[in-house]
Structure 1
């Protein structure tokens, strides 16, 4: 009695419930009615500004943003919050404390996509893993909006050392770049086509929300398909001894594998602040 009626769109899956409330149109994910007008105005402004800067920064395939453009986009991303996308920690997804077996389903929603760049949000339950994968020819900005996750990344390296010949064509030598935990609101991470950790993996420690901006986006027809890898024990360049730690001197083999069977991903409609294209 006296409860507000809701129009539910999408599905409840692994604790994530996407709700469109009556009177809100398509402006957000399950926001509180009393804050609707303030959030709509502020969120729309933040996301619109992000879009406009991305449009100026990403010039298309074969290009890499200038250092000045990178700094400008990073500053905007560093200030972004959940609320800017109409999200709230009141979502059931963030409160689900169940112990999940295996690799739980990862939810994603596409905020924007064009030939020059894409914006996507990932919702990772605790223990969820996005396997080691590459970003051919891409510059990628990753902003952790909520939670803690472990990130491990590599860059390809070339060597003429006959002792470092690959075991087979599916193996390639790579250098470990990052092997650390990150917690929101940490700085935005950036990777480039050949540096910065172009091949990376995420493992959620807590419930996480991750914004990824890719320029240019994946495209099979343009030879920018996503490949997956398995890393094998690496060694330290100085003495060749097997080690378990990370660092600039650690290298190892990355083996290209088929699409991981354990990876479960499900897309939902984006209902956050809408982007206006001039």
Structure 2
């Protein structure tokens, strides 16, 4: 995820030990670490080989990748919850470890201290797999809606908004609004379904392994767009009547710039290495 990530100089603080060579051949556990991340790379190459923007892998390929990610843990990528990346601070800094990126897919890990937040953002034309490796996280996600009840078409032109916020509102439907604790199933979102716009809030220290196909690419128009969210009742739509129960399932979203308080720092990935071909 390209979120204005700052690159660390790699001073060694919080460095992840590379255990791919240590104890080679002395136990299945250490061999498994190397195999799983290598296997993930190989499976991603197969899954996204014939894909591109807005082109979703076939259901059997989606299931194959999800099944592999479901079984992965922090040990497979050389992470431990007591590493400095996961310590709590007044202004928590999110750490991103880049594993791989090509024009077909990208792989990376977000390390989140408690209370840190990856704000609501989108994934244009992408299929995204997010695996919570450890910890507890709240996920809220949305898909764009064409309306409510009987598929009433709700557009910005119908919205009676105050002059202080006259443009850019769009109706979205809540897809997920729940807490997840590892081990749990991999979260999958699609270009127009599954919660393409989501927000991550770390309830405890946690790590998320992200696979994106294709990756963000500003020149191709796939940039990371952030959003404000407003409760559905805040704005009215002429002729539209919605029950209180249904209101909880919708919100108004508005594009925004990158939040000033979002701090994401890129550091080298030093876990089990990937042999790229």
Both structures adopt the same fold (TM-score exceeding 0.5): yes
Q: Secondary structure at the match of 1:122?
A: strand
Question: SS state of the match for residue 232, structure 1?
Answer: strand
**d(CA) in 2 for partners of 1:116, 1:37:** 36
- Measured against aligned partners, the alpha-carbon deviations of 1:68-96 in whole angstroms (never above 9, x if no partner) come to 111111110000011111223342445x4
* Contact 1:10-1:268 at 8 Å conserved across structures: no
Q: How does 1:15-94 map to 2 (within 5 A)?
A: 17-20=14-17, 26-27=18-19, 38=27, 40-58=30-48, 59-62=50-53, 63-94=55-86
> Is 2:112–2:207's contact at 8 Å kept on the other side of the alignment?
yes
Rounded Cα–Cα distance in structure 1 between residues aligned with 2:255 and 2:25:
47
Work out the CA distance in 1 between the residues paired with 2:72 and 2:51. 24
For 2:108, which of 108, 117, 120 is the aligned residue?
120
Cα displacement string for residues 126-176 of structure 1 (whole angstroms, at most 9, x for unaligned residues): 000000000000000000001001110000112424797244442211111
Distance in 2 (alpha carbons) for counterparts of 1:210 and 1:67: 23
Q: Is the 8 A contact 2:23 2:30 kept in 1?
A: no
Q: Which residue of 2 aligns with 1:264?
A: 263
What CA distance in whole angstroms lies between the structure 2 residues aligned with 1:151 and 1:161? Answer: 26
**Residue 240 (structure 1) aligns with:** 242
With the length of structure 1 as denominator, give the TM-score of the two structures. 0.81
Choose the corresponding residue for 1:195, options 193, 196, 209. 193
Which residue of structure 2 lines up, in the alignment, with residue 253 of structure 1?
A: 252
Is the 8 Å Cα contact of residues 16 and 271 (structure 2) preserved in structure 1? no
Deviation at 1:198, TM superposition (A): 0.2
Q: TM-score, normalised by structure 2?
A: 0.82
Contact 1:10/1:269 (CA < 8 Å) preserved in 2?
A: no
CA–CA distance in 2 between the matches of 1:90 and 1:127?
16
Q: For 1:122-271, what aligned pairs fall within 5 Å after superposition?
A: 122-159=110-147, 160-161=153-154, 165-166=158-159, 167=161, 168-234=166-232, 239-241=241-243, 246=248, 250-271=249-270
CA deviation profile, 1:159-207 (whole Å, cap 9, x unmatched)? 4247972444422111111111000011001000000000000000000
Which structure exhibits the higher relative contact order, with contacts defined as CA atoms closer than 8 Å and separated by 6 or more residues? 2
1:233–1:242 contact (8 Å) kept in structure 2: no
